[in-house]
Chains A and B, each alone.
Chain A
Amino acid sequence: MSDREPVVVDGKRVLGVVPGTPPGGERKVLDEQEPVMVWPHLLVRHGVAALVVLVVVLLLALFFNAPLREIANPMDTPNPEKAPWYFAALQELLAHFHPMVAGVLVPTGIIIGLVALPYIDRNPRLSPRFRKVAVATFTVFMVVWIVLTLIGFMFRGPNWGWVWPWQDWYGEL
């Protein structure tokens, strides 16, 4: 650019354009793989996450009281007898299989299977697209387990018979 024809921007003459990088450096492009300091980048997020969790807990505790039934009485078996909700799937299995299967083989098998998982699945790929077998197996297991838990928790009444949760509620927390 020369001074022969003055360039005018917003009514002002531009004296010249200097080629090269601006003194502040190139505009920073956010790179997802770039390592950044944990403080503040991660710790601020963790702080917010912690506050959200605490607010949820403190509000739940404000609006819902923990249950307390009558004092324990070994002579009076309630019907249904319910295990805590996280064992509801096992209890549901107990209604269909021999206790040896539902109470011992299945839980032991699940724990051993989970522990062994990273040693069985040696496929290094991360994206689910390249891990179809592993993802399908885990998803099927998880869905079955969630369904069994919901059935045992919400859909079972006296003598472990089927009840609709909107008619009779036997779920205990």
Chain B
Amino acid sequence: MKVMERVRESTVGRSIWRAPDRATERDRAAGHWANFFLHIYPVKMRRKEMTFRYTWFLGVASVVLFGSLVVSGIYLMFFYVPSPASAYGNIQNIQTQVAFGQYMRNVHRWSAHLMVLVVAAHMARVFYRGSYKSPKEFNWVIGVILLVLTLLLSFTGYLLPWDQLAYWAVTVGASMAGFVPLLGETIKGILIGGDTVGSATLLRFYVLHVAVLPTAVVILITIHLWRWRKDAMLDTGADDE
């Protein structure tokens, strides 16, 4: 720890951390604000709201799972081409030839399933704690959008292995879109890019899965956390737990 202190107080250290003194609480708060990674967090929170009993840490678990999905997903992208001619063979190749390929695919799959569970559980926890109440209504709305995006991410990823499981699950899912009144066939057409699930569908789902939806999730998580931080020390008024 002594070494770390010396580094922080050197010329280079001061240029990186800018607020290297940590003697008083005020110093530490300044250091917190000056740090990109820490500034996602509020500086202070009520002791009670930090306990396991209060949050079950489901929010942080969702973010960790999302991180695990990004890392394993990028690894898989190196070995995958989204076309019906190659997709299935690529997955077989990942499982048998690529170093840690099978393991990375497993991590990606189980993280994805867990993320759906954890995000849903997070929503339930927030509901029972009443944390959607005024003035935090809009953060709940962002949370609902994030839940929908999580489902869409999982669903678009489901198609990519191009096996029987993927193909027919997406066929069932896409057929539901066809029942929307008036616009049904149009929506279904935009979604799968043709009459049946085919090469256009695979490419669309791939682009949504690796670019559009993750970007949307990152932006919304950022807003979600920013609002959470701003509300961290709100006077919740009637605290009758």
**Structural contact, B154 and A104, CB atoms closer than 8 A:** no
**Structural contact, B163 and A68, CB atoms closer than 8 A:** yes
Which residues on B are within 8 Å of A, measured CB to CB? Answer: 25, 28-29, 32, 38, 41-48, 50, 52, 57, 60-61, 64-65, 68, 84, 88, 91-92, 95, 102-103, 105-111, 113-114, 116, 123-124, 127-130, 132-134, 136-137, 140-141, 144, 147-148, 151, 154-155, 158, 161-169, 171-173, 175-177, 179-181, 196-198, 233, 236-241
Tell me if B's interface is mostly helix, strand, loop or mixed.
helix
Given A35-B44, A57-B68, A86-B116, verify A100-B110 contact (CB < 8 Å): no
CB distance from A64 to the nearest CB of B (A): 7
Task: State which size class the interface on A falls in.
Answer: 35 or more
B contact residues around A118 at 8 Å (CB): 132-134, 136-137, 140-141
Q: What is the CA–CA distance of A115 and B213 in the complex, to the nearest angstrom?
A: 20
CB distance from B75 to the nearest CB of A (A): 12
Contact of B144 among A38, A69, A114 (CB under 8 A): A114
| Segment among A3-11, A18-26, A42-50 that sits at the interface with chain B | A42-50
Contact of B168 among A81, A100, A123 (CB under 8 A): A81
5 further A-B pairs in the complex, CB-CB below 8 A; given A36-B44, A66-B105, A68-B95: A35-B46, A53-B61, A61-B107, A68-B165, A72-B162
CB distance from B200 to the nearest CB of A (A): 14
Q: What is the CA–CA distance of A170 and B13 in the complex, to the nearest angstrom?
A: 59
